[in-house]
Structure 1
Amino acid sequence: MSKILIAEDDAVSRKFLNQFMSQFGSCDLVIDGYEAVDAFLLGIQEGDPYDLICLDIMMPKLDGIQVLQTIRKLESETLEGGRSRIIMTTALGETEMVRTAFDNGCDAYASKPIDTEKFVEVLGSLGIKSMKGGKT
């Protein structure tokens, strides 16, 4: 079972992602960038890092790009080998923001509202499979 962190400040989006992503693993929810970094660090300290992080770009206190940069830096300092897969989510369709996210190490990008069929395909390409079996 995958361990998933959902970092999303919008309650409706957070609830949707939690319900949708629960078929892929155990989900932890946070509402801002600082909480995302804290949860990520706790996972590393407990020896159980996140397999997947769904990270909203526009969050209060610390935005998704800053969180992405922090996570990738922490991984390079603390983890040997593997790293979390990170999917950036946003209502913004700005190509510059997408480029910045990929330049900083995100693995995929999803625009809101989330197209669940495409999202399942992206998850599959990242090695995240549904626990329901059958079609992923």
Structure 2
Amino acid sequence: MRFLIVDDDESVHLYLETILAPHAECDFALTGEEGVEKFDSAYAEKRPYDVVMMDILMPGMDGHQAAEIMRSRERDKGVSDINQFKLVMVTSLVDDTNVSKAFFNTHAACYIVKPLDKEKVMEELRQNLIL
């Protein structure tokens, strides 16, 4: 299993890598733009990501924009719904607008609210059939 973690906070990368290392290969991006680049590179290598964990608040391209671009690229490649990456929003934003955008616009599998807790992260990933 291959994860892309897109968050402008490197401590989040380290924390999630520690939790996920036994289950998945993890790659990281600090911006939405870098996340989209890595997403495209993974497809070019014929090793697409199974899961993208996305922060919403980032400088430049935010997480919603990056996720929408990634979903659009999958549609352009003819990727079926069942084979699309699982999107996990990992953010401190809990307002209805952001939650709705995550689920309805980009078809997020789940929404994990910061601060992160190992048990909460693992439970969400298991409940949503990601791990």
C-alpha distance after superposition, 1:99-134 (max 9, x if no partner): 1111112111000012322321221234333xxxxx
The sequence identity of aligned pairs, in percent, is 31
Q: Give the Cα–Cα distance (whole angstroms) in 1 for the partners of residues 32 and 59 of structure 2.
A: 7
Q: Give the Cα–Cα distance (whole angstroms) in 1 for the partners of residues 78 and 123 of structure 2.
A: 27
Q: Give the Cα–Cα distance (whole angstroms) in 2 for the partners of residues 96 and 116 of structure 1.
A: 26
Unaligned runs of 5+ in 2: none
Contact 1:7 1:54 in 2 (8 A): yes
Amino acid at match of 1:3: R
The correspondence of residues 106-121 of structure 1 with structure 2, limited to 5 A, is 106-121=108-123
Seen in structure 2, the aligned counterparts of structure 1 residues 79 and 27 have a Cα distance that, compared at 3 Å, is farther
Q: Does 1:40 align with 2:78?
A: no
2:73 matched residue in structure 1: 74
Amino acid at match of 2:21: S
1:100 matched residue in structure 2: 101
Q: Give the Cα–Cα distance (whole angstroms) in 1 for the partners of residues 44 and 8 of structure 2.
A: 25
Unaligned runs of 5+ in 1: 130-136
Q: Give the Cα–Cα distance (whole angstroms) in 1 for the partners of residues 69 and 104 of structure 2.
A: 13
1:16 matched residue in structure 2: 15
* Matched residue count: 128
Q: Does 1:83 align with 2:48?
A: no
Q: Give 1:6 shift.
A: 0.5
Coordinate RMSD, CA, aligned: 1.3
TM score, norm. by length of structure 1: 0.87
Contact 1:85 1:126 in 2 (8 A): no
Q: Give the Cα–Cα distance (whole angstroms) in 2 for the partners of residues 50 and 79 of structure 1.
A: 16
Q: Give the Cα–Cα distance (whole angstroms) in 2 for the partners of residues 85 and 79 of structure 1.
A: 16
Seen in structure 2, the aligned counterparts of structure 1 residues 119 and 77 have a Cα distance that, compared at 3 Å, is same
Q: Give 1:13 shift.
A: 1.6
TM score, norm. by length of structure 2: 0.90
Q: Give 1:53 shift.
A: 0.7
Contact 2:86 2:130 in 1 (8 A): no
1:122 is matched with which residue: 111, 124, 128?
124
Matched residue SS, 1:87:
strand
